[in-house]
Amino acid sequence: MSRPRQILAMGGGGFSMEAGNALLDEHALSLTGVECPKVCFLPTASGDADHYIVRFYRAFATGRCQPSHVSLFRRDGGAADLAGHLLEQDVVYVGGGSVISLLGTWAAHGIDLMLRAAWETGVVMTGLSAGSLCWFEQGLTAFHGEARPVRGLGLLPCSNAVHYDDEPRRTAYRAAVADGMPAGYGAGNGAALHFVGTDLARVVTSRASARAYRLAPDGLGVSETELACDFLGALPEPALAA
């Protein structure tokens, strides 16, 4: 029970979007404090696309970690005791795709409750895009055409927008928060929000240029504040001191 509750919510990035840049994925593994962590991939939001599962196993090779995946479209071949399997992980990694299909499918299999229980016992929850939006009270999805709010699992009592560099998401998220969506965070591609408990502890990035923002309603509409980001890559060599 000593493990803290942690979520690393990526605005975009990791093996799904950043081939050759493992900084965010490595960071997710490092949050476990375990040398060879158990990582379970949930590709539900993609419809359990085969190519996505293959890419996961390439990125999370045995040796560095203990990878597995749960396919909700092919339950006959996978772990029979889903709840037990998820609870014994160090990381649950949720892939991108349709957040609406993701949440609907999870609820039908009771995964929503299993993930909450796993999070509460200290399994690190991570994911990008739909796999980020799902952890929040509300998220802004633009996957299905026009941007619209979607109710997430509510582990984090705030809201989220992903791929925040891209219009129309930015404008739509500002409007949604001004219109009553809970205050929250917009994360761009390459930026990840690290929550400990339900508080934002740090923003980390896989690119020096990636950004994340805090959005909150104010008297006039909405205020947007750029957050301090820690780039995880090698910093430029400091000038040699004498």
Partner 1 sequence: MPPEERRAPTVLAMGGGGFTAGPVDPALDDLVLRLTGLARPRICMLPTAGGDSEHQIRRFYETYGDRLCEPSHVSLFRLGKRPMPLREHLLAQDVIYVGGGSMVNLLAIWRAQGLDVILREAWEAGVVLAGLSAGSMCWFEWGITTSSGAPAPAPGLAFLPGSNSVHHDSEPARRPVYLDAVRDGSLPAGWAVDDGAALIFRGSRLDGVVSARRGRAAYAVTPDGEQPLPARPLDAPDGRRVTVPAIAEMRRLHTARMGVARD
Pairing mode, if any, of strands 6-10 and 124-128? parallel
Q: What is the largest CA-CA distance in the chain?
A: 65
**Residue type for position 176:** A
**Is residue 25 a contact residue for partner 1 (CB under 8 A)?**
no
Cα(140)–Cα(175) distance, integer angstroms: 11
Binding span for partner 1 by CB under 8 A among 61-69, 97-105, 153-161, 182-190: 97-105
Cα(28)–Cα(127) distance, integer angstroms: 9
**Is residue 116 a contact residue for partner 1 (CB under 8 A)?**
no
Minimum distance from residue 35 beta carbon to partner 1 (Å): 33
**Is residue 232 a contact residue for partner 1 (CB under 8 A)?**
no
Nearest one of 135, 230, 235 to 185, comparing CA atoms:
135
Binding-site member from 21, 68, 101, 223 for partner 1 (CB under 8 A)? 101
Query: Which tokens sit at 86?
Result: 């998820």
Active site residue 163: yes
Active site residue 129: yes
- Residue 61: Cβ-neighbour burial (10 angstroms; 0-12, 13-18, 19+): exposed
Query: Which tokens sit at 31?
Result: 């949050």
Q: 3-class SS at 181?
A: coil
Q: How many degrees, rounded to 5, is the angle at CA 164 between CA 48 and CA 103?
A: 35
Binding-site member from 104, 168, 197, 233 for partner 1 (CB under 8 A)? 104
Minimum distance from residue 29 beta carbon to partner 1 (Å): 27
* Residue with Cβ nearer partner 1 (167 or 218): 167
Binding span for partner 1 by CB under 8 A among 16-24, 28-36, 71-79, 193-201: 71-79
**Is residue 49 a contact residue for partner 1 (CB under 8 A)?**
yes
Active-site pick, 46, 163, 194, 206: 163
Residues in contact with partner 1, counted by CB under 8 A, come to a total of 27
141 close to 99: Cβ distance less than 8 angstroms = yes
Binding span for partner 1 by CB under 8 A among 43-51, 171-179, 201-209, 215-223: 43-51
**Is residue 45 a contact residue for partner 1 (CB under 8 A)?**
yes
> Which residues are annotated as catalytic?
129, 163
Q: Which residues of the chain form contacts with partner 1 (CB under 8 A)?
A: 45-50, 72-77, 80, 97-98, 100-101, 103-105, 107-109, 142-145
